[in-house]
Amino acid sequence: MTAAEPVSLTAPELRGKIVASQRWSEVAYLHWRVSADLIAPLLPAGIRPDVHDGSSWVGLIPFYLDRARLGRGPAIPYFGDFTEVNVRLYGIDERGRRGVVFLSLEASRLAAVLAARAAFSLPYRWSETSIRHVNGAIEYTASRHRGRGGARIVIRPEDTPVVNDPTADFLTARWGLFTTRRSRTIFLPNQHEPWTLFSAQLITLEDSLMERAGLSGVANRPPDSVLYSPGVTTQFGSAD
Q: Give yes or no for residue 1 having a pLDDT over 60.
A: no
**What's the rounded Cα separation, in Å, for the pair 142 and 188?**
26
Residue 14, domain member (yes or no): no
Q: Give yes or no for residue 122 having a pLDDT over 70.
A: yes
Q: Taking the model in full, what pTM does it have?
A: 0.95
**Residue range(s) defining the domain that contains residue 86:** 20-232
The three-class DSSP label of residue 183 is: coil
Residue 15, domain member (yes or no): no
Q: Give yes or no for residue 127 having a pLDDT over 60.
A: yes
Residue 111, domain member (yes or no): yes
Give the pLDDT score at 218: 97
Q: pLDDT per residue over 82-104, tens digit each?
A: 999 999 999 999 999 999 999 99
Give the pLDDT score at 2: 42
Q: pLDDT per residue over 42-78, tens digit each?
A: 999 999 999 999 999 999 999 999 998 888 787 787 7
Residue 211, domain member (yes or no): yes
CA distances (Å), origin 157, targets 28, 160, 198, 228, 230 = 9, 9, 7, 6, 10
CA distances (Å), origin 164, targets 3, 125, 196 = 18, 35, 12
Q: Residue 181: which CATH number?
A: 2.40.400.10
Residue 1, domain member (yes or no): no
4-8, 122-126, 188-192, 228-232: the lowest-pLDDT one: 4-8
Residue 86, domain member (yes or no): yes
Q: pLDDT per residue over 196-237, tens digit each?
A: 999 999 999 999 999 999 999 999 999 999 999 999 999 999
Q: pLDDT per residue over 161-198, tens digit each?
A: 999 999 999 999 999 999 998 889 999 999 999 999 99
Mean local confidence (pLDDT), 131-155: 95
Mean local confidence (pLDDT), 121-130: 96
Give the pLDDT score at 150: 97
**What's the rounded Cα separation, in Å, for the pair 170 and 235?**
20
Q: Are 38 and 58 in contact (CB under 8 A)?
A: no
* CA atoms within 13 Å, Cβ hemisphere of 180: 10
Residue 44, domain member (yes or no): yes
Give the pLDDT score at 30: 98
**What's the rounded Cα separation, in Å, for the pair 130 and 139?**
8
Mean local confidence (pLDDT), 152-168: 97
Give the pLDDT score at 234: 96
Residue 45, domain member (yes or no): yes
Burial class (CB in 10 A: 0-12, 13-18, 19+), 183: exposed
Confidence tier at 3 by pLDDT (50, 70, 90)? very low
How many independent structural domains does the chain possess? 1
Q: Give yes or no for residue 79 having a pLDDT over 80.
A: no
